[in-house]
Each structure stands twice: as structure tokens, then as C-alpha cells.
């Protein structure tokens, strides 16, 4: 009895083990089948999508590729956060590390944004497509056709009379104010763009569609500035992405290429130079000679600086006149000799001893800029009257003033032994009279004493401040911002994409690096 029961239990155990193993095998087979089915479905979907999707360089671009400055055929340019490495095949060439990132496209402005790099990238094909579509849209709207003044038809006059939705520009209107995205240490470019876009005559020129480009390529900086003015005064409030402008600046000014911190003054001169070369004067001639040019850049920014070299023996004067776009002024605290306004009892002003105190205003800096300078015995110049090398004095004055005067306060000092930023405060006025510094002005200097005679009713040389560029930080690491003036003397601070309202006190209390003044009265020929 007991033996039979024991045998039956052993049989049941054996059957249970066999059944459990069979179940495990069945489960494994089912899982394998499911995985195979999933893989097959995924492969089918990938094949279908691959057949219907656009080319890879338009769908899944790589944020990093070779620099466009090297003329490579790669599609995208690196963003500010893309890692860089040295190209072993071409020493000295920067090349980005290749990686596949996700991105999105701004359908309104055409900008491409990389989520991984958190930056905007530039794509040649997308830019070409956007340009073609833009030309079609402009053609439909009549933009780019031959300029002519608008004369309303009878129908348009009737509509204007009965239009109930008229809008007026009020004191609260801020048209023309728009932030600029920082593309990686590009605040030096953004601050100059803000100053240029708020230059009244330059604004009127570009918004009137006066520029007619005949360049075959898309490398005209004047065309890009024209488009930039359209963007600024279109009424849009979202920050603008100046990637196309940065690309053209890098193309035409190779020394500014890269994402390192650059000098705003250096960018201003480079931008004016490229715009000058791409412009044509009123007679349709290329602007190749800065001394005889009538392009819009020279009409607004070019002045004439007169240099008089006087022989100390025969008192003969040699005069030269050179064009200028800006006036660079030395500051107290620099290693450059800084003469006092009144002569010292020991004659130090004539002996060449430097002084670092006294000048606290823009007018003081201009006085020193236009004072006679004794060249010394080590810098003798051959006199045309004496026919020999003699000691002489040199004096700079303004022969012709530009419509827009830009004053550069030399805060960055570079020398073989010293590199530093000069933080000396220099006060500057809202209104500036340049008459005392003109070559034709009635002024006398006796024993170093500065005297002047100014006609209070002469408004030909009076200027008004409309933009101030400031630099915060050190020489190695800093940031640029701009104060700009709108209508009715409203001031705003432009800090890349952020624009805030400012007071006149905020402007005048700022350190000041580049000061932009506009003539109050214009003469038309």
C-alpha cells in the first residue's frame, strides 16, 4: 500500500518537471517571435520613411562641419557651443567635431536652431531656398523695383479719407527697437548694429530702397544691411538673429572671424569699410577713392582732418588733409603723454613730460587732440623752405565735419609691456559744439593758454548725442551694450536681445567707449 503511493508521487513530480520545462520553452519561443515581428515592423517603417523623406542634409544635418571661410562644401556651420578641434590634414585650420543633433527651423525667419548645442546654425542650402522664396515674395509685393516717390491714386485718396483705422505715432511708440541674439561673443557686433540702425540718414536711405545691387553673388553687405533695416522697422518685437550678417562680416573681414571677443571699434571701422566698398555714389561709380566718393557711407560718416606741420626756423607751414570716419582720443591714465591745459612753470608741456590728470570731459580731450604738438629733435622733418631737416610742431584740426561724428575713447591700451583697460571717467554732453576745433575757427593760443571765440548764433557745427557704446568688464573678458535715442528724446539700453528703457542720467553716467553725435542742422546742395 505504501509502496504504490510513493511510486505515484514520483511519477507526478516527473510529469510536473516536464510540463514546466515545456511551458518555459513555449514562452521563450513566443517572446522570440514577438521580437522578430517588432524588428520586421521597424525595418518596414524605416524603409518607407527613407523612401519618402527629403535628402539627409535637409532633414538630419550635423551642427558641426568645416568653416565656410575655407570654401568647403559642407552643409552646416558650427554653432557657438559646438566643440572644436585642430584639423590634422591642414594645420592651423579649425574644424568642428562631427555629431548628429536634433534641430528645429523658424518658419518665420528661416533660422535653424540646434537643441543639443542650444545655438543657431547656418545652412547654405536652406539659406538659398529662403533667398529664392524671399525674392518671389518681394517681386509679388513690388519690392526691389526702380525707386520712385509714391503718388496716391484717386481711389487710394478716397480710401484714406474714409479709413477709420488710422494709426498715429505716439510718444509711447517704440518702432525700430528690436533685440539681437548673441551668437557667441558677438555683442561687439550687436552694439554697432544698434547704433547704425538708429542713425537717421542711414535709416532713411535703406528704408527708401535706394540701394540697387549689381553683384552676382549673395555677398553684398549693403543688401544685408538693407534687409536688416527692414527687419528692425517691420514692427516685430521678437529678437532678430543676425547669422547672415555675421557670415558676411567673417567673409569680408577675416581678422574678425571666430567666436573670440572682438573690439567694437574695430568692427565699426571694418563694417564701414566693407559698406563703402560695396556702395555706389550718386553717379553710379564704384566707391574706390575715399577722397572723391559720394556714396551714402561717405556722405554721412566721412570728415576731413587737417594736419599743419610748422617749421620752427622759417615758420613755413605744410598742410595735408586726410579723410576720417572716427576720431580716437587719448585718455588720462594712459602711457601716452597727456599735456595739461595750462603750461607748467618748468615748461614741461614743451619738454615732452607726460601728465595723467586734468582731462575729465570730452571737450578737454578734443582740446588736447587739436593742440600744437612739439615733434622734438628725434623726429625732424625736412622743411621745403629751409631745404633741410628742422624741428617742427604739428597741429590737427577739423577741415570738414561729417554729418555723424564718432568719437572713440581709447580705453584699451596695448603695448609690448602693458595690456590693460583704462577706466577713467570722461563726461560727455548731450549737445556738442565743434566750432572751436575747426581749422577755420577764430582761436588764438598764446603761451599755451587756450582761448576761443565762438559765435552763439552759428549752428553749423553743433551736434546732438544719439548713441553711446559701453564696455563692461576687463580687457580679456567683457561685454558691450548700447544706449540709443528714439524720437522725443527717449533713451533705451540695448543689451543683445534685452531692451530696457533708460534715463538721460543713465546715459551720461555711463563710462563711454564710442560716442555717436549727429549734426543738428544739415546743408543741402
Q: Which residues are catalytically annotated?
A: 187, 479
List all residues 6 or more positions away from 376 whose beta carbon is below 8 Å from its beta carbon.
352, 391
Q: Do strands 498-502 and 514-519 pair parallel, antiparallel, or not at all (unpaired)?
A: unpaired
CB proximity list for 264: less than 8 A, separation 6 or greater: 188, 189, 191, 192, 469, 471, 480, 513, 514
Query: CB of 440 within 8 A of CB of 446?
Result: no
- Spatial distance between the Cα atoms of 324 and 302, rounded to a whole number of angstroms: 6
* 209 backbone dihedrals φ, ψ, rounded to 5°: 60, 45
Which candidate, 488, 432, 494, places its Cα nearest to that of 468? 494
Q: Terminus-to-terminus CA distance in the chain, angstroms?
A: 134
CA 113 centroid distance within chain: 21
Nearest to 100 by CA among 154, 65, 132, 63: 63
Check residue 488 and report its DSSP letter: G
Cα 6 to chain centroid, rounded: 96
Whether the CB-CB separation of 460 and 453 falls below 8 Å is answered with no
SS3 string of 228-267? HHHHHCCCCCCCECCHHHHHHHHHHCHHHCCCCCCCHHHH
Give how far the C-alpha of residue 411 lies from the chain's centroid of Cα atoms, to the nearest Å. 19
Rounded CA gap, 297 and 290, in Å? Answer: 10
H helix or E strand, kind and range, residue 492: strand 491-495
> Of 396, 377, 245, which is closest to residue 320 (Cα–Cα)?
396
Longest dimension (CA), the chain: 149
- CA dist 245 and 250 (Å) reads 9
Quick one: cell of 524?
A: 543741402
Q: Is the dihedral of CA 184, 417, 367, 320 positive or negative?
A: negative
CA 146 remoteness from chain centre: 29
Alpha helices in 53-112 (DSSP H): 56-59
Is the C-alpha dihedral spanning 92, 93, 99, 102 positive or negative?
positive
CA angle 167, 173, 174 (to 5 degrees): 135
Amino acid at each position: 500500500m505504501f509502496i504504490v503511493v510513493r511510486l505515484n508521487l514520483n511519477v507526478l513530480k516527473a510529469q510536473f518537471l516536464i510540463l514546466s520545462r515545456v511551458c518555459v520553452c513555449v514562452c521563450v519561443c513566443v517572446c522570440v517571435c514577438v521580437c522578430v515581428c517588432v524588428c520586421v515592423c521597424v525595418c518596414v517603417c524605416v524603409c518607407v520613411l527613407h523612401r519618402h523623406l527629403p535628402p539627409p542634409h535637409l532633414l538630419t544635418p550635423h551642427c558641426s562641419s568645416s568653416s565656410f571661410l575655407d570654401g568647403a562644401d559642407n552643409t552646416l556651420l558650427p554653432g557657438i557651443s559646438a566643440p572644436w578641434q585642430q584639423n590634422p590634414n591642414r594645420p592651423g585650420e579649425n574644424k568642428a567635431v562631427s555629431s548628429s543633433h536634433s534641430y528645429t527651423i523658424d518658419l518665420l525667419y528661416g533660422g535653424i536652431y540646434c537643441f543639443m548645442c542650444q545655438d543657431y546654425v547656418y545652412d547654405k542650402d536652406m539659406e538659398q531656398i529662403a533667398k529664392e522664396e524671399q525674392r518671389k515674395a518681394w517681386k509679388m509685393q513690388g519690392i526691389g523695383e526702380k525707386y520712385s516717390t509714391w503718388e496716391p491714386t484717386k481711389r487710394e485718396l478716397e480710401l484714406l479719407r474714409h479709413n477709420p483705422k488710422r494709426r498715429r505715432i505716439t510718444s509711447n511708440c517704440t518702432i525700430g527697437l528690436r533685440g539681437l541674439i548673441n551668437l557667441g561673443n558677438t555683442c561687439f557686433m550687436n552694439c554697432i548694429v544698434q547704433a547704425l540702425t538708429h542713425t537717421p540718414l542711414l535709416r532713411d536711405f535703406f528704408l527708401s530702397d535706394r540701394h540697387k545691387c549689381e553683384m552676382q553673388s549673395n555677398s553684398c553687405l549693403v543688401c544685408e544691411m538693407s534687409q536688416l533695416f527692414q527687419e528692425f522697422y517691420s514692427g516685430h518685437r521678437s529678437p532678430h538673429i543676425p547669422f547672415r550678417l555675421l557670415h558676411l562680416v567673417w567673409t569680408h573681414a577675416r581678422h574678425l572671424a571666430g567666436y573670440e571677443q572682438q573690439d567694437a571699434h574695430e568692427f565699426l571701422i571694418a563694417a564701414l569699410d566693407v559698406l563703402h566698398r560695396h556702395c555706389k555714389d550718386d553717379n553710379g561709380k564704384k566707391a574706390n577713392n575715399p577722397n572723391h566718393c559720394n556714396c551714402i557711407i561717405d556722405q554721412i560718416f566721412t570728415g576731413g582732418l587737417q594736419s599743419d606741420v610748422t617749421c620752427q626756423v622759417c615758420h613755413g607751414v605744410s598742410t595735408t588733409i586726410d579723410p576720417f570716419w572716427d576720431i580716437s582720443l587719448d585718455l588720462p591714465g594712459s602711457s601716452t603723454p597727456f599735456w595739461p591745459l595750462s603750461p607748467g612753470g618748468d615748461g614741461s608741456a614743451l619738454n615732452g613730460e607726460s601728465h595723467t590728470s586734468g582731462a575729465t570731459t570730452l571737450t578737454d580731450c578734443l582740446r588736447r587732440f587739436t593742440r600744437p604738438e612739439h615733434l622734438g629733435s628725434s623726429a625732424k622733418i625736412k622743411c621745403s623752405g629751409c631745404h633741410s631737416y628742422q624741428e617742427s610742431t604739428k597741429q590737427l584740426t577739423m577741415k570738414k565735419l561729417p554729418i555723424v561724428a564718432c568719437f572713440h575713447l581709447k580705453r584699451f591700451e596695448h603695448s609690448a609691456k602693458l595690456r590693460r583697460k583704462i577706466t577713467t571717467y570722461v563726461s560727455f554732453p548731450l549737445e556738442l559744439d565743434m566750432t572751436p576745433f575747426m581749422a577755420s575757427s577764430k582761436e588764438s593760443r598764446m603761451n599755451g593758454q587756450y582761448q576761443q571765440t565762438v559765435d552763439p548764433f552759428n549752428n553749423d557745427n553743433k551736434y546732438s548725442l544719439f548713441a553711446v557704446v559701453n564696455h563692461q568688464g576687463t580687457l580679456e573678458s567683457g561685454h558691450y551694450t548700447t544706449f540709443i535715442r528714439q524720437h522725443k528724446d527717449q533713451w533705451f539700453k540695448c543689451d543683445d536681445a534685452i531692451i530696457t528703457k533708460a534715463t538721460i542720467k543713465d546715459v551720461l553716467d555711463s563710462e563711454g567707449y564710442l560716442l555717436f553725435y549727429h549734426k543738428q542742422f544739415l546743408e543741402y546742395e
